[in-house]
């Protein structure tokens, strides 16, 4: 059934989903943060989806945060640290029976959104789709992956694993009854790869090729295993380093999202990646010295 989706956060993943939801026949409205962004969008009037050298234009609507309601379906694709500030001016326009999906890197922001919006139902989603912005509202679909979605545990009633109206044409969307575990798995990999690529200013693959960097990644991963054991979380069949090594190899030529943020002098999602890990360790009475050192170094040297 066609629905109306509002999208908060028109970065690469927000535009990718805007295009695919529009393609599936939904009405889509981008919530843009400033009149300047709205002017830039209105000059185009569409999201451009580039894939294998073809360009498709999807005409969607756009609005400013203080004038976008009522909202029945909301997809949040902001950077993790922007979730609450971006949500604030929009929150009162979200219907009580709305469905809200938070799709982003890291952990902590999804739960903050669910707490802020309760009793509105909130889902979390985690994606391995590859996308980047060539220009504002022009997204390049770089690699087709998979998106997992599931309700966050704060939800009061039994919810379907995927909101019924979330039907993006062509993107792979799978139901995940244990979405928090999947978010943890992604978090562990991000903790192993992202801060180290920012520290060494290197591609993902170099973490496996250079013995010193690999040793460093192994020490970071050993601490992740230690915390997971303490929390009774079984993320992988073997130690985290095996999984981190395999992801770093598979994405060897890429620059991690954190390194891209650092190079573009943007704020990073460190607080929602290593920061979240350290917070959980502290609550469990553990110290993770390797992760702590990395966190402190990057806090001092990056935005």
Shortest Å distance, C-beta 145 to ligand KPL: 10
- 256 touches ligand KPL (CB under 6 A): yes
Place of tokens 């380093």: 241
With CA atoms as reference, report the closest residue to 207 among 171, 243, 164.
Answer: 243
Name the phi and psi angles at 205, rounded to 5: -65, -30
Of these, 189, 224, 262, 281, which contacts ligand KPL (CB under 6 A)? 189
- 274 touches ligand KPL (CB under 6 A): no
- 294 touches ligand KPL (CB under 6 A): no
With CA atoms as reference, report the closest residue to 190 among 114, 264, 283, 269.
Answer: 269
- Is residue 121 within 8 A of residue 94, CB to CB? The reply is no
Instruction: Report the relative pairing of strands 27-31 and 61-63 from DSSP bridges.
Output: parallel
- 257 touches ligand KPL (CB under 6 A): yes
Residue among 148, 186, 213, 280 flagged as catalytic: 186
- 251 touches ligand KPL (CB under 6 A): yes
Residue with Cβ nearer ligand KPL (99 or 198): 198
Give dist(CA 90, CA 68) in Å, integer: 8
Of these, 94, 193, 228, 281, which contacts ligand KPL (CB under 6 A)? 193
* Residues between 105 and 164 with contacts to ligand KPL, criterion CB under 6 A: 105
Residue with Cβ nearer ligand KPL (94 or 102): 102
Place of tokens 């970071």: 220
- 190 touches ligand KPL (CB under 6 A): yes
Q: What is the largest CA-CA distance in the chain?
A: 55
Residues 6+ apart with CB under 8 A from 293: none
134 in catalytic set: no
For ligand KPL, the binding residues (CB under 6 A) are 105, 189-190, 193-194, 204, 247, 251, 254, 256-257
Residues marked as catalytic:
186
């Amino acid at each position: 059934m066609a629905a109306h989706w509002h999208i908060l956060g028109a970065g690469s993943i927000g535009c990718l989903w805007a295009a695919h939801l529009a393609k599936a026949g939904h009405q889509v409205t981008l919530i843009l943060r400033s009149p300047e962004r709205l002017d830039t969008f209105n000059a185009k009037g569409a999201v451009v989806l580039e894939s294998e050298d073809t360009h498709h234009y999807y005409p969607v609507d756009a609005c400013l945060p203080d004038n976008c309601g009522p909202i029945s379906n909301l997809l949040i694709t902001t950077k993790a640290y922007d979730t609450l500030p971006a949500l604030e001016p929009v929150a009162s326009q979200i219907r009580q029976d709305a469905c809200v999906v938070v799709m982003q890197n890291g952990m902590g922001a999804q739960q903050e959104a669910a707490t802020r919006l309760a009793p509105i139902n909130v889902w979390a989603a985690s994606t391995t789709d590859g996308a980047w912005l060539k220009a504002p509202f022009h997204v390049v679909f770089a690699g087709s992956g998979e998106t997992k979605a599931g309700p966050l545990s704060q939800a009061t009633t039994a919810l379907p694993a995927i909101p019924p109206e979330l039907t993006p044409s062509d993107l792979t969307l799978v139901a995940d009854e244990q979405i928090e575990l999947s978010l943890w798995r992604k978090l562990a990999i991000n903790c192993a790869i992202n801060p180290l690529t920012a520290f060494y200013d290197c591609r993902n693959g170099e973490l496996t090729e250079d013995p010193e960097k690999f040793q460093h990644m192994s020490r970071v991963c050993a601490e992740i295993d230690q915390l997971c054991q303490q929390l009774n979380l079984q993320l992988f069949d073997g130690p985290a380093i095996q999984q981190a090594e395999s992801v770093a190899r598979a994405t060897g030529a890429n620059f991690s999202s954190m390194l891209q943020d650092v190079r573009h002098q943007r704020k990073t999602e460190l607080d929602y990646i290593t920061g979240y890990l350290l917070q959980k360790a502290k609550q469990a009475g553990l110290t993770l010295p390797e992760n702590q050192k990395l966190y402190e170094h990057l806090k001092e040297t990056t935005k």
